[in-house]
Chains A and B, each alone.
Chain A
Amino acid sequence: MRITTRLLAAAAISCLAAGASAKTLVYCSEGSPEGFDPALFTAGTTFDASSRPVYNRLVEFESGTTNTVPGLAESWTVSDDGLEYTFKLRPGVKFHTTDYFTPTRDFNADDVIFSFTRQGDPANPWNSYTENASWEYYQSMDMPALIKEIRKDDDMTVTFVLNRPEAPFIANMAMDFASILSKEYADSLEASGTQANLNQAPVGTGPFQFVAYQKDAVIRYKAHPDYWKGKEAIDDLIFAITVDSSVRMQKLKAGECHAAPYPNPADIAGLQADPNLTVMEQEGLNVGYLAYNTQQAPFDDPKVRKALNMAINKQAIIDAVFEGQAAIAKNPIPPTIWSYNDAVEDDPYDPEAAKALLAEAGQEGLKMKIWAMPVARPYNPNARRMAELIQADFAAVGVEVEIVSYEWGEYLKLSSDLDRDGAVLLGWTGDNGDPDNFLAVLLGCAAVGNSNRAQWCYQPFEDLIQEAKVTSSQVERAPLYEQAQVIFKEQAPWATIAHSVQFMPLSSKVQNYKMQPFGSHRFDGVDIAE
């Protein structure tokens, strides 16, 4: 009977293919997109459905890596002072022709200027084209302070003038918020008074063009016939929104979809055993950590922090919390990021030495709080469990731990407070593959009271990351970050815990799928065996 189902399902999918003599890939996505204008949003689920299939950026991340490669910009030059980035645009790039829009011209500088000024200029009518519009990524990547001017040199040349040198700028231009929209389409929506459609019926230059979205159920795309890299091998791409992880895996097994992300850790062995499936895995671009409040006694003493770090049995955490599907973290950046310093030695798990060091610091009988997040995140699937394990580890060295938790929104806010009482479990998934996106965002002085949960502002470290930020050559930046990681380890503002592994179960028929370090899901370049 099981085989019959498979055959039926396979027949259904191949009927789909035969019916339109087309190849169809069905992706059981984990949630609904918030909308289709990526710059308005921050969720990966939304980017998977909008920026990745529908749009391109001036610069693209090479599939499967954190390297940047030319996208809608064929090439670029940076002025010697690092303040001007001039992009030479790719000629002959076509926007999608859809039921609701027919472009009359190719992509040009106007589209680039439109895509950014609408985010940065409050006077631009498109800045508030939909109710409650906010440009969170543009804001949080500090673009308003960074970009002085975007200049159109000619139809195919655009220059970004910055207020200060910013080495990660090229990587930023490959991020989802930097997707390029059609100015001509926006104008046509404005003329018909239907601006909100920019977020509901997207038009881009990307590998797939939008066909239809049935809320919370199905999103349909078809290959862009005039894609500048050539038409995709898949003709139709369908997202079947399936929220529950167990159900998603059942659909994959039953042949109702070709790919389904985020399996439950407990289901992975079963999926690996299925001969019709392939389970890909990759170390995620993330880190899970325990951040001490370094501005509060006794945690302002690096000795105390170091001693506590030595008391944590990280392997036990990896086994119990991640079911073995993670690597022990010793640095604040994951090993897949350039400048990762493998020479750094992790604090050994040594309860005796920890006890001795605590005694030396005069902290016998220490009591503290550990904050456990109320939600599962890729870098920490079960913070409560992790906190309990650390509680037991600390008890073994004479430190009494009280575990506290708050609702997620509250947790994020309260954990940022300068006078927060206790050490916080949290983590981070990288945005653009640049070390600055971890080291400055999570440990820089400007982020104290915000995303720097250790409230750690240490000048020798800060000097290094600031210097690296304004140096444009990666070769020169790398040693600065390597040194910063050495200082981080000496000072121990965090206990670095884990870099989790991400899994992607696929039908064995899917070819050339690549897992993305940022955790996004891309179907350009993917094919299906007949």
Chain B
Amino acid sequence: MILFILRRIALLIPTILGITIVAFGFVRVLPGDPVLLMAGERGLSEERYAEMLKQFGYDQPIWRQYLDYLGDLLRGDFGNSIVTKKPVLTEFFALFPATVELAFCAIVIAILVGIPAGVFAASRRGKLVDQVLMGTALVGYSMPIFWWGLLLIIVFSGNLGWTPVSGRISLLYYFPAHTGFMLIDSLLSGEKGAFLSALHHLILPSIVLATVPLAVIARQTRSAMLEVLGEDYVRTARAKGMSPGRVIGVHALRNAMIPVITVIGLSVGTLLAGAILTETIFSWPGIGKWMVDSISRRDYPVVQGGLLLIAVVVMVVNLIVDTTYGLINPRIRH
């Protein structure tokens, strides 16, 4: 088992190196550069432009810039944002907890709703309930997130007034951020109502972010269940006179979980991608919005550092998932 994990970690190194090349190249392939965007309509004289490129080190040949970047990375230096002048790592860690909190709530919703829905649909295969559930899942999967988010805000926050429009917590509360996770910080603050307010603010963005993974998990659970339900051991269990609930809940579901866990693991990437739109709509101060802003400003250090950090997070989560189903299903380890 340890060997399995070590082998997987060793595989990460070339992947990370590849990502540095892609991330570094990606922002530079985009036309325009940060200096021009900063100058705006006013423009810059040729001399001033050259001077600024030099100051940022962008006058060097591209391979030289890349090697410098790699050298800095090895020293743990991700560089400073051109826009805010702050270290990329500081900004990342200030924003990352907000994204994690949102993504975590979204995945919890997706699992708690998606798996039962899939199981239920599988057990009623071909019936109206199945068709309605799977039809809904298809709609959810195809939903344009930006439109969906705005629709929910207009209906639930604007017209019904059940939820706040945006933000992480009511502005009424002001306490120091110990962990960056608003749910935890609000509990630590000891302020009455703060936790509920934070939870209240999480509802809409979590639902929006959960929509796509929920649909995927529901559909995957259904098809995995259908496959398992046809197996001999299920028939045996039924023949033994077990209750249908026990057959599905214990024997079938456990075996059907393997592909579902894979899908949950893979949806971490989907969640981070979905966070870009969800965070923008709900003014959620996380890394998705940060990346969008940085790309549009051609903030090279932030884009390349941010992409790398996000990629590492996704890889680590996938490694954990792989390890987990290695535990569930010994066949994979060998």
Q: Which residues of A contact B (CB under 8 A)?
A: 1-2, 4-6, 8, 12, 15-16, 19, 24, 26, 32, 34-35, 40, 42, 130-134, 136, 139-140, 196, 199-200, 212, 214-218, 220, 238, 240-244, 246-247, 250-251, 253-254, 256, 377, 406-410, 412-413, 416, 426-428, 441, 450-451
A34 CB to nearest B CB, Å: 5
CB atoms of B85 and A254 under 8 A apart: no
- Does chain A have a CB within 8 A of B233? no
One of A8, A212, A410 near B32 (C-beta < 8 A): A410
CB atoms of A216 and B43 under 8 A apart: no
B75-99 at interface with A (beta carbon < 8 Å): 80-86, 91, 94-95, 98
CB atoms of A238 and B283 under 8 A apart: no
Chain A positions within 8 Å of B38 at CB level: 42, 136
CB atoms of B30 and A407 under 8 A apart: yes
**Complex: chain A residue closest to B177, CB-CB:** A214
B29-51 at interface with A (beta carbon < 8 Å): 30-34, 36-45, 48
CB atoms of A254 and B55 under 8 A apart: no
CB atoms of A408 and B37 under 8 A apart: yes
Instruction: Tell which of B104-112, B157-165, B219-227, B238-246 binds the partner.
Output: B157-165
CB atoms of B160 and A244 under 8 A apart: no
CB atoms of A412 and B36 under 8 A apart: yes
Chain B positions within 8 Å of A32 at CB level: 293
CB atoms of B166 and A251 under 8 A apart: yes
Q: A244-B283, A250-B158 are in contact. Are A215 and B91 (CB under 8 A)?
A: yes
Chain B positions within 8 Å of A40 at CB level: 85
Chain A positions within 8 Å of B80 at CB level: 130-132
CB atoms of B171 and A15 under 8 A apart: no
Chain B positions within 8 Å of A243 at CB level: 280, 283, 289
**Complex: chain A residue closest to B180, CB-CB:** A214
Q: A139-B48, A412-B43, A450-B44 are in contact. Are A247 and B283 (CB under 8 A)?
A: yes
- Does chain A have a CB within 8 A of B167? yes
Q: A196-B85, A242-B166, A254-B161 are in contact. Are A412 and B283 (CB under 8 A)?
A: no
- For B43, B160, B167, B280, the residue with the greatest tally of chain A CB atoms inside 10 Å of its CB is B43
One of A133, A215, A217 near B85 (C-beta < 8 A): A133
Beyond A217-B168, A218-B167, A451-B43, list 10 extra A-B contacts (CB 8 Å): A2-B159, A130-B80, A132-B82, A140-B42, A199-B85, A216-B283, A254-B157, A409-B33, A409-B36, A412-B43
Chain B positions within 8 Å of A140 at CB level: 39, 42, 44
CB atoms of B42 and A451 under 8 A apart: yes
- Does chain A have a CB within 8 A of B133? no
- Does chain A have a CB within 8 A of B26? no
- Does chain A have a CB within 8 A of B52? yes
